[in-house]
């Protein structure tokens, strides 16, 4: 018997039992959709993490940080042994890193906390100073009209993350976006703003002002006036650009403020002249050093295959190193566990569907006993009979797989529409269905259908022709 004949007979049998076929296919649809949607949630998280890794330098990126013998405090001892045990990221460190084999680039990063003032608003920001070359290598996508800071201007020009506005609040009430759900009326690109680098002095002056007001209103000062608190210096700054994406889109730089490193250092030296810059090492007596200690160094290897070797070489120099390759390896093991759990939950539904297919095929055998007997009498081979029932079961799996994938795509779209990745702290869609998952789920649905139909097919082969013909 030809395959075309077997296929025609299988389709004809399924059409005669439309309701039973529909209910069986529905089980496969639910099972397939469950598996695909569950796995897509894990893949969506994985995809978003990979995108963040790409934004932070890709698989060839290494982050180098210093190592402090003092347990975390930046201080230098006169003891040479302690000095040797402490490793800081300095200009000399950057030069040494650039001379290592397989190093494509090495850039210092200086991170400080600062405050931006605009009218009645104040914003707490993380300010990152980078070299011009490092900023160019980040390939930042800016809103229309935005440019990289000009180091020759001598002015501190800022690139604001697209969600920095969330960190602003009203000075009088302390209420901001996280309290009201409304963004402050600030144009980061065009408004003139004030930057405060000495945050401790600013907060102390605010506290002193509040206390003085209460004291004056209470009339309990006893006729004496307290000394005027020191006022933090304000620097006029402008925004040179805003990270593209809008306030509803999250990326690696969403909450960061970037600027030119050289200009930032000059501002810090001016602001803290003769004083220790916050976060910078000091002598045992608390005096500042002329050298700058950077928060970290961003190193790019020439090839992903050389990342581990380069990381070990830098660690041998006494520095801490983290790589995106290590991060990806760690994420893969976590994602594999998550996807296994989610896929297992969905597989339960498909298992139930497989039982339904087996039941449908067994019922079909009992109803078509006489038909099977006639097929054997006229010379139909046992192989053809087995193939007939396997084709029917496989076709049920195929129909369920197609419809299940269409349903999973619809569910995935609804999830991404109403539950954004940004609301959960990562970029991209929460559900992601690649082509390979569609093809794999289709093949799995067909395979489950054929496996479920195998034992009923074997039973049909073993029916006695004479007994089957006499059966009413």
Look at residue 259 in the predicted model and tell me its pLDDT.
95
Q: Which of 87, 111, 106 is nearest to 95 (CA)?
A: 106
The least confident of 314-323, 357-366, 409-418 is 357-366
More confident residue, 333 or 204: 204
- CA distances (Å), origin 193, targets 35, 118, 263, 270: 52, 5, 17, 19
Look at residue 82 in the predicted model and tell me its pLDDT.
44
More confident residue, 39 or 114: 114
Distance CA(228)–CA(106), nearest Å, equals 46
Report whether pLDDT(68) > 80. no
The least confident of 66-80, 246-260, 382-396 is 66-80
Distance CA(271)–CA(202), nearest Å, equals 13
Look at residue 426 in the predicted model and tell me its pLDDT.
55
Look at residue 430 in the predicted model and tell me its pLDDT.
79
Helix and strand counts by DSSP (H, E) for the chain: 14, 10
Read off the pLDDT band of 378 (50, 70, 90): low
Burial of 284 (0-12, 13-18, 19+ CB in 10 A): exposed
Read off the pLDDT band of 72 (50, 70, 90): very low
Two tokens at 248?
Answer: 């509803």
Distance CA(183)–CA(408), nearest Å, equals 36
Distance CA(89)–CA(296), nearest Å, equals 6
Look at residue 467 in the predicted model and tell me its pLDDT.
56
Beta strand 61-65 with 256-260: parallel, antiparallel or unpaired?
A: unpaired
Distance CA(152)–CA(263), nearest Å, equals 9
For 442-464, write each residue's pLDDT tens digit: 888 888 888 877 777 677 666 66
Distance CA(33)–CA(353), nearest Å, equals 12
Look at residue 279 in the predicted model and tell me its pLDDT.
82
| Residue keyed to tokens 């660690």 | 315
In this structure, are residues 121 and 275 in contact, taking their beta carbons and an 8 Å threshold?
A: no
Report whether pLDDT(108) > 90. yes
Burial of 299 (0-12, 13-18, 19+ CB in 10 A): buried
Beta strand 103-118 with 296-301: parallel, antiparallel or unpaired?
A: antiparallel
- CA distances (Å), origin 34, targets 18, 359, 445: 24, 21, 12
Look at residue 361 in the predicted model and tell me its pLDDT.
72
Compute φ and ψ for 319, nearest 5 degrees: -110, 160
Distance CA(241)–CA(32), nearest Å, equals 47
Report whether pLDDT(73) > 50. no
Report whether pLDDT(89) > 50. yes
More confident residue, 176 or 284: 176
For 20-49, write each residue's pLDDT tens digit: 778 888 888 888 888 888 888 878 877 777
Residue 3's contacts (CB-CB under 8 Å, 6 or more residues apart) are none
Half-sphere exposure of residue 131: CA atoms within 13 angstroms, side-chain side? 14
Report whether pLDDT(185) > 70. yes
Look at residue 94 in the predicted model and tell me its pLDDT.
94
Q: Which of 77, 140, 445, 32 is nearest to 281 (CA)?
A: 77
More confident residue, 264 or 292: 264
Put simply, whether the predicted model's pTM sits higher than 0.85 gets the answer no
More confident residue, 186 or 3: 186
Mean per-residue pLDDT over the chain, rounded:
79
Look at residue 93 in the predicted model and tell me its pLDDT.
92
Look at residue 84 in the predicted model and tell me its pLDDT.
42
Look at residue 466 in the predicted model and tell me its pLDDT.
58
Distance CA(49)–CA(254), nearest Å, equals 15
Percent of the chain surpassing pLDDT 70? 77
In this structure, are residues 318 and 67 in contact, taking their beta carbons and an 8 Å threshold?
A: yes
**DSSP reduced 3-state for 114:** strand
User: According to DSSP H, which parts of 249-381 are helical?
Assistant: 261-271, 307-316, 324-367, 369-377
Look at residue 70 in the predicted model and tell me its pLDDT.
42
The least confident of 71-75, 313-317, 402-406 is 71-75
CA 356 to chain centre: 39
């Amino acid at each position: 018997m030809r395959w075309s004949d077997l296929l025609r007979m299988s389709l004809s049998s399924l059409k005669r039992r439309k309701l039973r076929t529909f209910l069986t296919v529905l089980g496969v649809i639910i099972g397939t959709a469950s598996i695909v949607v569950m796995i897509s949630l894990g893949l969506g998280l994985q995809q978003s993490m990979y995108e963040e890794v790409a934004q932070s330098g890709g698989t060839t990126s290494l982050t180098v940080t210093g190592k402090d013998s003092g347990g975390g405090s930046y201080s230098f001892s006169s003891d040479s042994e302690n000095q040797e045990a402490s490793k800081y990221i300095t200009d000399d460190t950057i030069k040494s890193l650039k001379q290592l084999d397989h190093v494509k680039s090495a850039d210092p990063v200086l991170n400080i906390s600062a405050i931006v003032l605009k009218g009645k608003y104040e914003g707490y920001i993380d300010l990152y100073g980078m070299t011009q070359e490092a900023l160019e290598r980040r390939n930042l996508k800016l809103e229309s009209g935005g440019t990289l800071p000009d180091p020759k201007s001598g002015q501190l020009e800022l690139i604001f993350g697209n969600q920095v506005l969330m960190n602003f609040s009203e000075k009088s009430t302390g209420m901001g976006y996280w309290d009201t759900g409304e963004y402050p009326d600030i144009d980061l690109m065009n408004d003139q703003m004030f930057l405060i680098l000495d945050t401790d002095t600013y907060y102390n002056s605010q506290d002193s002002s509040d206390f003085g007001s209460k004291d004056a209103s209470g009339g309990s000062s006893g006729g004496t006036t307290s000394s005027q608190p020191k006022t933090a210096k304000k620097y006029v700054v402008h925004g040179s650009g805003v990270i593209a994406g809008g306030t509803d889109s999250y990326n690696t730089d969403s909450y960061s403020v970037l600027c030119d490193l050289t200009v930032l250092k000059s501002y810090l030296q001016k602001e803290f002249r003769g004083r220790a810059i916050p976060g910078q090492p000091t002598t045992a007596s608390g005096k500042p050093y002329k050298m700058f200690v950077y928060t970290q160094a961003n190193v790019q290897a020439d090839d992903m295959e050389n990342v581990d070797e380069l990381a070990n070489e830098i660690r041998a120099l006494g520095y801490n190193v983290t790589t995106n390759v290590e991060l990806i390896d760690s994420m893969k093991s976590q994602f594999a566990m998550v996807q296994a759990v989610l896929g297992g939950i969905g597989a339960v539904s498909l298992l139930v569907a497989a039982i339904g297919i087996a039941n449908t095929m067994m019922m079909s055998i009992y109803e078509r006993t006489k038909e099977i007997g006639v097929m054997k009498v006229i010379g139909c081979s046992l192989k053809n009979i087995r193939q007939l029932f396997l084709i029917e079961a496989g076709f049920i799996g195929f129909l369920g797989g197609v419809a299940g994938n269409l349903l999973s795509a619809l569910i995935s779209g609804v999830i991404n529409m109403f539950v954004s990745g940004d609301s959960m702290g990562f970029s991209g869609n929460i559900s992601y269905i690649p082509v390979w998952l569609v093809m794999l789920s289709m093949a799995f649905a067909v395979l489950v259908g054929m496996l479920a139909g195998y034992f009923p097919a074997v039973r049909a082969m073993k029916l006695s022709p004479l007994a089957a013909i006499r059966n009413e």
